[in-house]
Amino acid sequence: MSTHAMRRTFRAFGLILAAAGGCATGDSRLSREEYRDRCAGAWAGQMIGVCYGESYQFQSNGKPITGPIEPWDPAKIEGALRQDDVYVEQTFLAAIQKHGLDITPEQAGLAFAATTYPLWHANYYGRTNVRRGIMPPMSGNPRYNRHCDDIDFQIEADVLGIVAPGMPGESNRLCDVFGHVMNYGDGVYGGMFVAGMYAEAFFESRDVMKVVRAGLACIPRASQYHRCITDTIRACQAHPDDWLAAWHEVERRWNDDLDCIPGNPHNIDARLNGAYIVIGLYYGRGDLLKTIEICTRCGQDADSSTSNAGGVVGCMKGYKALGRAVEGIPAIADRTFLGSDYSFNTLVPACEAVAEAVVRRAGGLATAEGFDVVRQKPRPPAGLEQWTDEARMLMLPVTANEVALWDDRWQPVQAACTFRGGFYPSEYGRSNVLMIFPIRPDSPGAIAATLRMPDSETATLAVEVATETQHGDCLMRVMIAGKPAMEKVIQTGGEFVTETVGVRAVPGSDVEVRLEFHANDYSFEAAYIRSVELK
């Protein structure tokens, strides 16, 4: 049998197996040239989207942008080299190239933990947890990561669809490994949704809603994320020529303030920002610049929804079809991204090499001419992960894990409540800061520790503390061995000050210390604690 005949037989056999497994059996041929063009378009779309939306990020929270927006300037593309919406996923790609497609959650977590680039929210805590020995999937679990439903994995899952053209089963499998490093439940499902859209986009150039529905089919119907996207599609269909009307419907239902910073209009929840991706895709109708403009107008994390939506459109259309929008890329195409060994010019061959391995793993054929893909029908993962609204409402004022990140001698000691505090890598010019807030007007937030007296009968308890810049104050009460030692209203205007308390005890003995932060007028009451030392 000739080589060509063998290839036809192999492809036919793969498609028969695909049909038997309930997979799609449409056109599954993808030439190398087409893969490279769509892959380059996917990366270019992300880069253009994130740079377009950057200046509007969190500038419009809980309200749309209806005024003029600056047109796309290709010279801005240089900014993509330092954007977490682009560089984080390159860590995933490098880890897959190093460990192979059967990479374990621990290997994925350790690769992420070894990075040094800036991170925030779920990414920051996921990386910090792994460094402390809390491995995936627990590094992204709400027990250790209150940001687990945030947007983080959603903004960096693109590459897991880019390397799985037509194979959402494979993209979901990889999302399960990488997504739980920093997220859980809806936070992971947002990444599966995005990656699933890319997997479909390699075989769909016109129908953006077909791409959206393919991504939606990758996540559980019972999840809140699925319900949010379903509601968004319905709102768009009810107002086919009015994105603003659809936005208002989504806002009323899904901007519920049950995110990682309740009480603040800044909402980084994966579901709400995922809805903005859909609004941009629906009303952009396959036009890259129109898509990212509408995403930006939706507000909130405007450079992230634009990056996801822009990448999907770029993958659907291919790099060559993006015209003037990509004019700035050649000038930076050989420069590496922050924290990465990849440049734009090396990303495409790296993705192609991984995609070739994925194609073969799924039963397809990779030749010098292209890929014969055994197309997979999008399916949700087995089971359902969900951090419920009820569980969110019972968050501790600060979790034990967050206090330990700050200083592992201390523990939270207050009743459960909704809270917007936690561990901050930096705040008001200091690193490693714990934010704590009174639970209610009549109930303080509090932490306690057992500290060792120095080798003397007298010592000084020094508390380095700051309050909010705008009208911020709180009543700080210090208890030593169960007795009041200091009570003072703290108001620092965002500057750290050191408050001291004299302590008398047996040299070298253990002293019980409790810090309470009470409401003064229950407005801007947060206290930021840099350190507490007995010396």
Q: Which residue has the higher pLDDT, 491 or 412?
A: 491
pLDDT given for residue 395 in this prediction: 52
DSSP 3-state of 328: coil
Report whether 458 contacts 451 (CB < 8 A). Answer: no
pLDDT score of 27: 64
Q: DSSP 3-state assignment of 534?
A: strand
Q: What does the radius of gyration of the chain's CA atoms come to, in whole angstroms?
A: 26
In this predicted model, which residue has the larger pLDDT, 438 or 136? 136
Burial 432-450 (b: 16+ CB within 10 A, else e): ebbbbbbbeeeebbbbbbe
pTM for this one? 0.78
Residue-wise pLDDT tens digits, 206-217? 999 999 999 999
User: In angstroms, what CA-CA distances link 476 with 37, 210, 466, 488?
Assistant: 60, 57, 11, 5
pLDDT tens readout for residues 213-240? 999 999 999 999 999 999 999 999 999 9
The residue-averaged pLDDT of 503-532 equals: 88
Amino acid in position 476: M
Residues whose CB is less than 8 angstroms from the CB of residue 345 and which lie 6 or more positions away in sequence, other chains included: 333, 334
pLDDT over 80 (residue 121): yes
**Interior/surface letters 105-128, b for 16+ CB within 10 angstroms, e for the rest:** bebbbbbbbebebebebbbbbbbb
pLDDT > 50? residue 340: yes
475 CA to centre of own chain: 35
Per residue in 344-403, pLDDT (tens digit) is 999 999 999 999 999 999 999 999 999 999 999 999 999 999 987 656 644 545 677 778
Instruction: Give the amino acid at 489.
Output: V
114, two tokens: 């070894």
**pLDDT at 414 (0 to 100):** 53
250-297 per-position pLDDT tens digit: 999 999 877 777 667 889 999 999 999 999 999 999 999 999 999 999
Distance CA 199, CA 190 (A): 14
Identify the three-state secondary structure at position 151.
coil
Domains observed in the chain: 3-372 (1.10.4080.10), 393-534 (2.60.120.260)
Model confidence at 126, in pLDDT bands (50, 70, 90)?
very high
CB atoms within 10 A of CB 456: 11
- Residue 394 is predicted with a pLDDT of 47
